[in-house]
Amino acid sequence: MILRDLCLMFTIAMVICFPASSAEVRLKDLVDFGGVRGNDLVGYGLVVGLDGTGDGIRNSPFTEELLSSVLERFGINVSGEQFRPRNVAAVIVTAVLPPFARAGGRLDATVSAIGDAKSLLGGTLIMTPLSGADGHTYAVAQGSIIAGGISADGDAGRIVHGVPTTGTIVSGARIEREVDFDLSSLSEIVLALRDPDFSTAAQIERVINEFYRTTVARMIDSGTVILNLQLSNSTSPAHALSSIEQLSVSPQTAARVVVDQRSGTIVLGNSVTISPVAVAQGNLTLTIEESPIAIQPSPFSDGETIVVPRTSIQIEQEIGNGFAEVPEATSLSEVVKGLNALGVPPLDMIDILKSIKAAGAMHAEFIVR
Q: 154-195 pLDDT, tens per residue?
A: 655 566 667 788 999 999 999 999 888 888 888 888 999 988
Q: List phi, psi (to 5°) of 268.
A: -110, 125
Q: Taking the alpha carbons of 157, 162, 167, 170 in that order, is the dihedral positive or negative?
A: negative
Q: 212-221 pLDDT, tens per residue?
A: 999 999 999 9
Residue 53's CB is within 10 A of a number of other CB atoms, namely 20
241 neighbors 47 (Cβ within 8 angstroms): no
pLDDT at 2 exceeding the cut of 80:
no
What is the pLDDT, as a whole number, of residue 255?
Answer: 81
Q: 216-244 pLDDT, tens per residue?
A: 999 999 999 999 988 888 888 888 888 89
Q: 37-75 pLDDT, tens per residue?
A: 889 999 999 999 888 888 876 667 777 777 777 777 777
132 neighbors 97 (Cβ within 8 angstroms): yes
Confidence band, pLDDT 50/70/90 cuts, at residue 112: very high
All residues at 6 or more sequence positions from 277 whose CB lies less than 8 Å from its CB, including other chains: 325, 326, 356, 359, 361
Domain definitions of the chain by residue range: 2-17+256-368, 39-175, 182-249
Confidence band, pLDDT 50/70/90 cuts, at residue 331: low
108 neighbors 125 (Cβ within 8 angstroms): no
Q: Residue 12 to residues 1, 27, 59, 214, 259: CA-CA distances in angstroms?
A: 25, 36, 42, 53, 12
Q: Residue 273 to residues 24, 84, 141, 335: CA-CA distances in angstroms?
A: 23, 65, 52, 7
pTM, full prediction: 0.63
Query: Which residue type occupies 195?
Result: D
DSSP 8-state secondary structure symbol assigned to residue 156: S
Q: 13-24 pLDDT, tens per residue?
A: 333 343 444 578
What is the pLDDT, as a whole number, of residue 320?
Answer: 54
What is the pLDDT, as a whole number, of residue 161?
Answer: 62
DSSP 294-344: EEPPPTT-S---EEE--EEEEEEE------EEE--B-SHHHHHHHHHTT--
Percent with pLDDT over 90 in the chain: 24
How is the beta sheet containing 188-193 ordered, strand by strand?
31-33, 188-193, 224-228, 217-221
Closest CA to 335 of 275, 261, 260, 280: 275
All residues at 6 or more sequence positions from 242 whose CB lies less than 8 Å from its CB, including other chains: none
* Cα-based torsion angle of the residue sequence 20, 24, 29, 33 in order, rounded to the nearest 10 degrees: 130
CB burial of residue 22 (10 Å; 0-12, 13-18, 19+): exposed
90 neighbors 155 (Cβ within 8 angstroms): no
Bridge partners of residue 287, in order along the sequence: 3, 314
97 neighbors 41 (Cβ within 8 angstroms): yes
336 neighbors 16 (Cβ within 8 angstroms): yes
Q: List phi, psi (to 5°) of 177.
A: -145, 140
Mean pLDDT of the chain: 78
Q: What is the mean pLDDT of residues 335-351?
A: 70
Q: Where are the alpha helices (DSSP H) in the chain?
A: 61-73, 198-212, 229-232, 237-244, 332-340, 346-358
Helix (H, G, I), strand (E, B) or coil at 364: coil
pLDDT at 296 exceeding the cut of 80:
no
